[in-house]
Amino acid sequence: MLEHIEDTLNKSCLIGLSYFTRQGEQLKQNILAGRVVKVDSEVGITVELFTKDKSQGALFILPTNLSCWFNAPKGDFHTSQTGIKITNPDYLVTWDIFQSKEQGSDSAKEKPQNSEQQWWQWRPRTQSPNVG
């Protein structure tokens, strides 16, 4: 198991994200793939997402909790985006993401202070994912 966020630097990962309502109803699932390009204990783990045409991908920031990072089995994995495949990633990373406020509530109409992340609570999925 990983002990330091620095251990993720330059490693490839397949990221499984499951989104839920406040009541626990699943909204959607998304699978991303990329390589860790930067780590910061306050900001998070920055992953550059893989693209179809090998151009520079978007940056996606994960929380620094390493309890949901698991060694990946060998094989080919497909993402939610058509045409993106990762072969033999270093890690499988899984997060459950829950709405923390109703988007239609009065408090949701207030201007966000930092980003839309304030509307979601990230929970690491600490059980090794089933692949197969």
The answer to whether residue 20 is domain-embedded is: yes
- The pLDDT tens digits for 38-52 are 999 999 999 999 998
> What's the confidence (pLDDT) of residue 52?
87
Q: What are phi and psi for residue 34, nearest 5 degrees?
A: -175, -170
pLDDT at res. 32: 96
Is 109 contained in some domain? no
Q: How far apart are CA 32 and CA 85, in angstroms?
A: 9
pLDDT at 102: 58
Q: Which domain holds residue 28?
A: 5-101+116-124
The torsion angles phi and psi of 60, rounded to 5 degrees, stand at -130, 125
Question: What pLDDT does residue 101 have?
Answer: 72
Q: What is the pLDDT of residue 76?
A: 96
Determine, yes or no, domain membership for 97.
Answer: yes
- For residue 112, the model assigns a pLDDT of 45
- Identify whether 106 is part of a domain: no
Asked if the structure places residue 69 within a domain, the reply is: yes
For every one of its 132 residues, what pLDDT tens digit does the chain have, with 9 covering 90 and above? Answer: 688 999 999 999 999 999 999 899 999 999 999 999 999 999 999 999 999 887 889 999 999 999 999 999 999 999 998 889 999 999 999 999 999 875 554 444 444 454 444 588 999 998 887 765
Specify if 129 maps to a domain.
no
Tokens standing for residue 112? 């966000």
pTM of the entire structure? 0.82
Residue that the structure tokens 């999925």 belong to:
125
